[in-house]
Amino acid sequence: MEESQPRSLGRRIIRWVAYAILALLLLSVTLSILIQIPYVQNVTITTIGKKMTRDLGTYVGIGHIRLNFFDDILVDNLLILDQSGDTLLYSERAYFDLDEPLTGLLNNRLVMQEIDLRNSKCYLKTDAAGLTNYQFLLDYLKRNTGDAPLPNEDGKDPFRIIFNPARIAVDQIEFNHHNDWSGRYSRLKLDYASAQLEKIKPDDPLHFRDMSLLSPEFELEKFPPVQPKVSDTVILKMQDSTSRKKASQPLSFTIDYFEVSNGKARVINKYRPVRSTLPNVIDFRDASAYNINLEFSSVDWYNAAGFFRIDKLQAQTPEGFAIVDMEAGEVEIDSQQIQLQEMVLQTSNSVLRDHIRFGFDDLEDFKDFTNKIELDIDLNESYVGLRDILYFVNQLNNNQFFLLNGGKQFDLNGRLQGTVNDLRGNQLDLNLADQGFLKGSFDLANVTIRGEERLNLDVTTAEIPITSLRQLIPNFNPPENYDKLGNLQFSGFFDGFF
């Protein structure tokens, strides 16, 4: 009798465990069926929309939702307004792969494992005071992704979105950014893009493991910056400087690997004058490129400056200039320079190796590249095609030497500093095939101003055909029988105009 009691108790335990498992299965099936009922879906839409609207402080609209109890949500016509009531993001269809979505909704959180947006548009704004319409969304994501999110102003727990990490994909999306502060309107269209988002934490840059863009089309239009209104100025003075800085904080991020395939880009000046360059010369007032393919790694971007490595870069311009391939061990970009270390740049006509730095006071200086961009170029085992120079310097397209020898290349080692129009060369070793060679240093001024060209030349040794000198220096017109002398060998100094 005593032995039968433990057996009976064991059977009851097994039976109750089986009942519990069956109940859970029935509950799962029931919930899965219920969630397909329009009324239940409408309640779910309303609940999610209200929670997001409350936490973001702006309207979040959902047209239709399909919730799979086990792993995903499909949303049609997702709409997020900015805090001024204008559209920030619209997506015709948004897919979210979630970890236990229904349980997460009941617990006021969603754990994102994959996000896929299709046929979407995003409208970003920066006003004349430098404040953006999207900072509140970034703050929300950073604030509510940690283990202990901060409560809302009303004391209620926020609706948490957690990246676990998340694979993000967009199919047919367009970003528009109207920036009155800096006088820029930019537009980016993507056929397809994907990224693996690893981390979102307060006060830390976004961290992406990889990012890939397919057939992007980027356009940047410049216009005069808009001056803040008097009311904006007063508001800015009243605001705490720390909160104001946070509200307009530039986006910071790190990317382990970044790739672009078959891209296009164009930079135009809205109030640019009529084109002043020849058709084969790049006009930096309206510059464009296509067939852009690039691979960057170790991207670290913070406060509008950063570092990265170029593993591949290819591009072409309508004028005919082409970058066949480019690599750089480290690239540094900030508000006053672009610097490339351990660089190898190969064009259709040239190969440049070692180090290049472009210095400037403002990006607007690129509109007057020959006079305002400070060059610091250290070259080793390099050669330059004269035709490539003609793509950038309009005036040299009228020089007889360049016209007759445009298809030739010259070997170049040494250091070049200054602007194109005021250029210095030190420890140069220049060899132009059958047109001679030169070793030494030089100082050129007003090289693109016809009739005002000045040259200070310190030649260690040189050998140049008389015919080449006649072509290179417009006012050098010795008698024709001087050509019989062949090559002119010389060393020493030359100062004067040519």
Q: In angstroms, how far is the first alpha carbon of the chain from the final one?
A: 123
Full 3-state SS string of the chain: CCCHHHHHHHHHHHHHHHHHHHHHHHHHHHHHHHCCCHHHHHHHHHHHHHHHHHHHCCCEEEEEEEEECCCEEEEEEEEEECCCCCEEEEEEEEEEEECCHHHHHHCCEEEEEEEEEEEEEEEEEECCCCCECCHHHHHHHHHCCCCCCCCCCCCCCCCEEEEEEEEEEEEEEEEEEEECCCCEEEEEEEEEEEEEEEECCCCCCEEEEEEEEECCEEEEEECCCCCCCHHHHHHHHHCCHHHHHHHCCCCCEEEEEEEEEEEEEEEEECCCCCCCCCCCCCCCCEEEEEEEEEEEEEEEEECCEEEEEEEEEEEECCCCCEEEEEEEEEEEEECCEEEEEEEEEEECCCEEEEEEEEECCCHHHHHHHHHHCEEEEEEEEEEEEHHHHHCCCCHHHHCHHHHHHCCCEEEEEEEEEEECCEEEEEEEEEECHHHCEEEEEEEEECCCCCCCCEEEEEEEEEEEEHHHHHHHCCCCCCCHHHHHHCEEEEEEEEEEEC
Q: Quote the pLDDT of residue 202.
A: 62
φ and ψ at residue 81, rounded to 5 degrees: -90, 155
Q: Quote the pLDDT of residue 245.
A: 41
Q: What does each C-alpha distance from 10 to 3, 13, 15, 24, 218 come to in angstroms?
A: 11, 5, 9, 21, 70
Q: Quote the pLDDT of residue 49.
A: 72
Amino acid identity for residue 224 in this structure: P
pLDDT digits (tens, 9 = 90+) for 117-176: 999 999 999 998 888 998 888 777 766 555 545 455 555 566 666 766 678 899 999 999
303 C-beta neighbours (distance < 10 Å), count: 12
Q: Are 341 and 353 in contact (CB under 8 A)?
A: no
Two structure tokens written together for 64: 């239709």
Q: Quote the pLDDT of residue 428.
A: 87
Q: Quote the pLDDT of residue 325.
A: 96
Q: Quote the pLDDT of residue 25.
A: 62
Q: Quote the pLDDT of residue 491.
A: 81
Residue for token digits 């005002």? 452
- Show the CA angle centred on residue 46, arms to residues 41 and 52, nearest 5°: 125
Two structure tokens written together for 338: 């672009």
Q: Quote the pLDDT of residue 329.
A: 94
Question: How far is residue 200's CA from residue 137's CA, in Å, rounded to a whole number?
Answer: 12
Q: Are 270 and 184 in contact (CB under 8 A)?
A: no
Two structure tokens written together for 65: 């939702």
Q: What does each C-alpha distance from 202 to 20, 199, 205, 444 come to in angstroms?
A: 42, 10, 8, 52
Residue for token digits 């799962």? 28
pTM across the whole model: 0.75
The series of mean pLDDT values per 10 residues for the chain, 498 residues long, is 57 67 63 61 69 79 74 85 92 84 65 88 91 84 56 57 77 94 91 86 79 95 78 49 47 91 89 71 88 96 88 95 95 92 94 92 80 91 88 79 75 90 87 78 78 79 76 66 72 74
